[in-house]
Amino acid sequence: MRCKTTMSTQSILFDREEWSTRKAKAWLKRNGFAAPKVGKAENYLRYRQLHPKKACAAGSFRTKAVGRGIKMVFCCLKGGRK
């Protein structure tokens, strides 16, 4: 799927073997992201930036490793919003 605008950050994932909740929240704040409540999965801490069903177009999600133990999930916004 091609976006009408640039992709937006939907979630940021931190590898639980390398990141604590405290360190992940500090990284988020230092890099200008929100640090809402954490979603804890078996391997990752997930910090949602956008609600996937409300803000993101279906089928537009992409995941990219951006640092040691950090992955970002990107999506196209619904309706081509910025």
What is the rounded distance in angstroms from the CA atom of residue 12 to the CA atom of residue 26? 13
At 80 the pLDDT is 60
Please report the sign of the dihedral spanned by the C-alpha atoms of residue 38, residue 49, residue 31, residue 63. positive
- Looking at every residue in the chain, the average pLDDT score rounds to 91
Would you say 70 and 13 are in contact if contact means Cβ atoms under 8 Å apart? Answer: yes
Give the whole-angstrom CA distance, residue 78 versus residue 6.
12
User: Residue ranges of the domains in the chain?
Assistant: 8-80
pLDDT band at 66 (very low <50, low <70, confident <90, very high): very high
Residue 1 binned pLDDT confidence (cut-offs 50, 70, 90): low
- pTM for this predicted structure: 0.88
Report the DSSP beta bridge partners of residue 35. none
